[in-house]
Amino acid sequence: MTEKHETGQRLGSMRPIAPSPATESTTPDSPESSVRLSRPRPLPRSKRRLVLDFDIETVAAGYADPSWVPDKITCISWSFVGSDEVRVEICGKRGYFESAPRRAMIEKFLPDFHRADIVTGHHILRFDLPVLNAECMRLGLPPLEAKMVQDTMRLPKAKGFKKGQDVLSDLVGTRSKKLPLNWQEWQAAYEEDGWTTIIARCAGDVEQHKQLRVALAERGLLKPPRMWNP
């Protein structure tokens, strides 16, 4: 039986509200396990597509080769742009060592990934997507399909310009802040029952990124989506 956070769990104490109108797409009915986040500002109507914002958390899986460290996904958070809902799934402590909980977690994410016209996130071209694809193959799932991707790490060329999501968010003044965790705080978070801190961190990354993406687009700093081929 897969260990995961209790369905219906929400960050904070906000009461459920009706979904707000989509800014880029009409989103599906929100699942019971989703959490509510703030609504981003709308993008121009000409750019409306079904856009999925996502983030993963990982742990190192081994050090057989010092130059290559495989990653195991421990948590996935995602939200359709234009929706206040964020889904968060975890593999739980069993997922450190057993494949079944991680497979079950990823299988809950993949249907929304496949139906999205575009996926977006920070540094997903070189990290999140390749790691997710590796996990799919390792767990006996089909490889990811080719997808249009808008990565907020892709900005105009610059020297001495820090491009971390937290730094860029401070630069453009997003309302949401990334939950800071040092090395020991990460260790403690994985010892918690229910992984409350891990869930808050991953969901908060998606909330902040949705706001960051809009702000970068408004400043003319965001490059258009491009095709990612596994």
- Give counts: helices (H), strands (E), the chain: 5, 7
The token pair at 118 is 């575009």
**114-169, pLDDT tens digit by residue?**
999 999 999 999 999 999 999 999 999 999 999 999 999 999 998 989 999 999 99
Q: Is the pLDDT of residue 9 over 70?
A: no
Q: Name every residue whose Cβ is closer than 8 Å to that of residue 70 and which is 6 or more positions away in sequence.
A: 60, 61, 62, 134
Backbone phi, psi, residue 218, to 5°: -65, -30
Provide the CATH number for the domain formed by 34-228 in this structure.
3.30.420.10
Q: Residue type for 120, please?
A: T
Q: 17 and 73 in contact (C-beta within 8 Å)?
A: no
Q: Name every residue whose Cβ is closer than 8 Å to that of residue 133 and which is 6 or more positions away in sequence.
A: 143, 144, 230
Span 3-18, mean pLDDT?
38
Longest dimension (CA), the chain: 50
Q: What angle do helix axes 129-138 and 99-115 make, rounded to 10 degrees?
A: 130
**17-60, pLDDT tens digit by residue?**
333 334 444 344 433 344 444 444 554 554 578 999 999 999 98
Average pLDDT, the chain: 84
What are the boundaries of each domain within the chain?
34-228
Q: How confident is the model at residue 77 (pLDDT cuts 50, 70, 90)?
A: very high
For the whole model, what pTM was predicted? Answer: 0.78
Backbone phi, psi, residue 117, to 5°: -75, -35
Assign residue 91 a region (left: φ > 0; alpha: ψ between -120 and 50; beta: otherwise): alpha
Q: Is the pLDDT of residue 184 over 90?
A: yes
Q: 205 and 139 in contact (C-beta within 8 Å)?
A: no
Say how far apart CA 124 and CA 35 lie, in whole Å.
22
Q: 61 and 43 in contact (C-beta within 8 Å)?
A: no
Q: Is the pLDDT of residue 110 over 60?
A: yes
